[in-house]
C-alpha cells in the first residue's frame, strides 16, 4: 500500500484564536514537481440535466453553485483546499486505512472538496453534500498524474465555517464525523476520530462487524477499527505545533506553523514537497469579511501568502492559472497520463527563480527573503485594518486584491 503524503490541516477557535476569529490552515504535500494553480469560479446557475465534469467521471449538476476560490493540482478538476463565498473552507487529506481504496475511477477526495464548496452554504451542508455523493458515486482513481504507478487513497476532510468545524473521515462509502466548536484541531494522513462521533454512516458499525474488525461489544473507536494494523500513531507533529502556541492564534501564527520544517508540518523530502498552502481567517462577526491567504507556489517557507476576499466583481488572475489543454489534455484522455505537459503558470515560473536564489543562501538570498516577508507583512497589516474597521467593506477596493498581489510578486521576482 502506497503511503499517503504527509499533509496537515488545522483549525483554531476562540478563545485560542484571536479576537473572535476562526483560523484555518493547510499545507498540501504532493509530488515534488506538481504545479498547483489558484482558480476563482463565480456563482452560476445551471440548466436542468446538465453535468459536472469531475476529474474522472461526470455527475448530475445542481441548479446553482456558489462562488469558490480553490488551490488545486493543475491537472485535475477538484481542489486540495479552498473556500466559498459563504465562508466555508474545506481541505482534504489522503488517508491509508485498513481497507485499500478502490482503483476504479470514481470521485477523487479532491473532487469532493470542490463539490462541497460549490454546493454547501455551511460546514454541515458541505458535509451532507460530500457524504451523499460518496454514497452515490464512491471514491477512487489515481491521485497522481502518473502513468507508471497507481496511487489511490481513502479521504479525510476538515470542513470549517464561522461557527463550527467538522472532521469527516471516510473509508469507501462509510464515514464518521466529529463536530468541533472550540479549541484547536489538526488532521493529517492518518485516521484521527476515536470514540467521539457526532454523525456517521447508518451501516458503519455493522460493516465493521461484518469484516471482523469490531466485536460489537467493545466501545467503538473509529480509528482503531479502520486504521491499518501497523499505522495507528497519533498525528503528533501538527497537533503539537498548534497546542504549544501560548498566545492567541492569528493568521501570522498559522503561517509560521505551516512554514515549520523542523516539526515536519512543512514537508520537503525526496518524494514530496508542500506544493501550496492556505490560511483563512473567518470572523465570527458576520459583518466582517472572511480573508483567505494563498501561496500558489511551493514551499511556504519560501513563498508569499497573498490575500483574497469574495466580492461580486472579483478580477480573475490568469498569472496564477496553468495553461489549459482542453480535450487534448493527457489527463482527460484514456489511457491517461501518456504525456506530462508543462503546467507551470507565470507566478510559478517567476517563483522558481526566487527558490533558486533562496536555496543558494548567499547574501542575495537573505535580502530576497527579507523583502518577500516585508511584502507579505504589508498584506497582512492591510487585512488587519479591514477586520478591525467599523466601516463596511468597499467591494471596489478588494475586487482586484489577489490580482494585484500576484502581479506585484511577479514584478518583484523579475
pLDDT digits over 88-106, tens only?
Answer: 999 999 998 999 998 899 9
Calpha distance 273→30 (Å, rounded):
6
Could you tell me the three cell numbers for 42? 463565480
Q: Are the CB atoms for 165 and 180 separated by under 8 Å? A: yes
Q: Picking from 62-71, 126-135, 350-359, which range would have the lowest pLDDT averaged per residue?
A: 350-359
Please pick, among 9, 89, 235, 266, the residue that the annotation labels catalytic. Answer: 9
> What is the share, in percent, of the chain residues with pLDDT greater than 90?
89
Q: Looking at residue 278, what DSSP letter applies? A: E
Give domain 8-413's CATH number out of 3.40.50.300, 3.40.50.880, 3.40.50.620, 3.60.60.10: 3.60.60.10
Q: Are strands 184-187 and 8-12 parallel, antiparallel or unpaired?
A: antiparallel
DSSP state of 49: T
Find how far residue 251's CA is from the centre of its chain: 16
Q: Is the pLDDT of residue 199 over 90?
A: yes
Cα angle for residues 204, 206, 209 (degrees, 5° grid): 110
Number of alpha carbons in the 13 Å side-chain half-sphere of residue 102: 16
Summarised one tens digit per residue, pLDDT across range 371-398 is 999 999 999 999 999 999 989 999 999 9
pLDDT at 4: 86
Q: What pLDDT is stored for residue 235 in this prediction? A: 59
Tell which phi-psi region holds residue 183, choosing left (phi > 0), alpha (psi between -120 and 50) or beta. Answer: left
| Distances, alpha carbon 283 to alpha carbons 40, 395, 398, in Å | 21, 17, 17
pLDDT in tens, 257-279: 999 999 999 999 999 999 999 99
Q: Would you say residue 281 has pLDDT above 80?
A: yes
> What's the per-residue H, E or C state across 352-373?
HHHHHHHHHCCHHHHHHHHHHH
Q: What count of other Cβ atoms lies within 10 Å of the Cβ of residue 151?
A: 18
Positive or negative torsion for Cα 380, 283, 126, 52: negative
Task: State the pLDDT confidence band at 243, using cuts at 50, 70 and 90.
Answer: confident
Q: Could you give phi then psi for residue 349, rounded to 5 degrees?
A: -65, -45
pLDDT for the residue numbered 341: 97
**Is residue 188 flagged as an active site residue?**
no
Given this model, what pLDDT does residue 360 score?
Answer: 84
Task: Concatenate the DSSP letters of all residues of 284-319 into one string.
Answer: SSTTSPPEEEE--SS-GGGS--EEE---TTPPP-GG
Q: Which residues contact 45 (CB under 8 A, 6 or more apart)?
A: 63, 64
Amino acid at each position: 500500500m502506497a503511503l499517503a503524503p504527509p499533509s496537515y490541516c488545522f483549525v483554531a477557535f476562540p478563545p485560542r484564536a484571536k479576537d473572535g476569529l476562526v483560523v484555518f490552515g493547510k499545507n498540501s504535500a504532493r509530488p515534488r514537481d506538481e504545479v498547483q494553480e489558484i482558480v476563482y469560479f463565480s456563482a452560476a446557475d445551471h440548466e436542468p440535466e446538465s453535468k459536472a465534469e469531475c476529474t474522472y467521471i461526470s455527475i448530475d449538476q445542481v441548479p446553482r453553485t456558489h462562488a469558490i476560490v480553490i488551490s488545486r493540482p493543475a491537472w485535475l478538476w477538484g481542489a486540495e483546499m479552498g473556500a466559498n463565498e459563504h465562508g466555508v473552507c474545506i481541505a482534504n487529506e489522503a488517508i491509508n486505512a485498513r481497507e485499500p481504496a478502490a482503483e476504479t475511477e470514481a470521485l477523487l477526495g479532491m473532487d469532493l472538496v470542490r463539490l462541497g464548496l460549490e454546493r454547501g452554504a455551511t460546514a454541515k451542508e458541505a458535509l451532507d453534500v460530500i457524504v451523499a455523493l460518496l454514497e452515490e458515486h464512491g471514491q477512487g482513481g489515481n491521485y497522481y498524474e502518473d502513468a507508471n504507478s497507481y496511487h489511490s487513497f481513502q479521504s479525510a476532510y476538515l470542513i470549517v465555517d464561522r461557527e463550527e468545524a467538522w472532521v469527516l473521515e471516510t473509508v469507501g462509502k462509510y464515514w464518521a464525523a466529529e463536530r468541533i466548536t472550540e479549541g484547536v484541531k489538526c488532521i493529517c494522513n492518518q485516521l484521527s476520530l476515536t470514540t467521539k462521533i457526532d454523525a456517521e454512516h447508518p451501516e458503519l458499525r455493522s460493516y465493521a462487524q461484518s469484516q471482523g474488525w469490531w466485536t460489537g461489544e467493545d466501545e467503538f473507536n473509529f480509528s482503531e477499527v479502520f486504521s491499518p494494523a501497523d499505522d495507528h500513531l497519533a498525528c503528533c507533529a501538527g497537533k503539537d505545533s498548534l497546542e504549544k502556541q501560548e498566545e492567541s492564534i492569528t493568521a501570522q501564527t498559522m503561517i509560521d506553523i505551516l512554514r515549520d520544517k523542523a516539526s515536519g508540518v512543512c514537508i520537503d523530502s525526496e518524494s514530496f514537497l508542500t506544493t501550496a498552502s492556505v490560511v483563512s481567517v473567518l470572523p465570527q462577526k458576520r459583518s466582517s469579511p472572511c480573508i483567505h491567504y494563498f501561496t500558489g507556489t511551493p514551499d511556504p517557507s519560501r513563498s508569499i501568502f497573498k490575500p483574497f476576499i469574495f466580492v461580486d466583481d472579483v478580477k480573475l488572475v490568469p498569472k496564477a492559472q496553468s495553461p489549459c489543454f482542453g480535450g487534448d489534455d493527457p489527463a482527460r484522455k484514456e489511457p491517461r497520463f501518456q504525456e506530462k505537459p508543462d503546467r507551470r503558470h507565470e507566478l510559478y515560473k517567476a517563483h522558481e527563480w526566487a527558490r533558486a536564489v533562496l536555496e543558494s543562501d548567499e547574501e542575495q538570498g537573505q535580502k530576497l527573503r527579507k523583502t518577500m516577508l516585508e511584502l507579505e507583512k504589508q498584506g497582512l497589516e492591510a487585512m488587519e485594518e479591514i477586520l478591525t474597521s467599523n466601516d463596511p467593506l468597499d467591494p471596489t477596493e478588494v475586487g482586484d486584491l489577489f490580482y494585484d498581489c500576484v502581479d506585484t510578486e511577479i514584478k518583484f521576482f523579475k
